[in-house]
A and B are shown apart, each in its own frame.
Chain A
Amino acid sequence: SSELTQDPAVSVALGQTVRITCQGDSLRIYYASWYQQKPGQAPVLVIYGKNNRPSGIPDRFSGSSSGNTGSLTITGTQAEDEADYYCNSRDSSDNVVFGGGTKVTVL
């Protein structure tokens, strides 16, 4: 399968921890990469590889992987973390695939 599946929406209280998951067969080989997208803006890479953050991304963002599932965890969620989050990888045909996105609401 070339699909990546994400929950459409999650909510989290300010300062709490939220985990977003991404499921797909390709994730048995590929680590999921994660992007944050705020309204009207281009996506921004927040996690790649086993658990790597690009320069400038706060350390409250972390990634993990188990079986066919990749996860993005935000620890101590801030108001500015409210956004859409997308995962991606390559599939078995070498095509690039994205998950459907998860809308994170900070309460």
Chain B
Amino acid sequence: NAGVTQTPKFQVLKTGQSMTLQCAQDMNHNSMYWYRQDPGMGLRLIYYSASEGTTDKGEVPNGYNVSRLNKREFSLRLESAAPSQTSVYFCASDRRRSDQPQHFGDGTRLSIL
């Protein structure tokens, strides 16, 4: 069981470039999430998708867009990357039940020069 798979693992961009971070889960989970983790701060929610076909903003959505492609896949797009978006990005998923925890991928480490 792969769980939550994120690609790429590392990426370096120049300011103004665009890219899409990919996330796929094989646990038949309904809900999927994108977080960013910065030094000295907790993981912060960027966007989430409670179920296939729906997306909602989290705490820090500015500069990002998301697509819930199907039940398995949830992508995060940076249209015009800025140095402030240098971070580690984590995708997570869960069954959307109170007794089920979120499962995380191993992250994408993104540097924007």
Q: Do A and B bind each other?
A: no
Residues of A within 8 A of B (CB): none
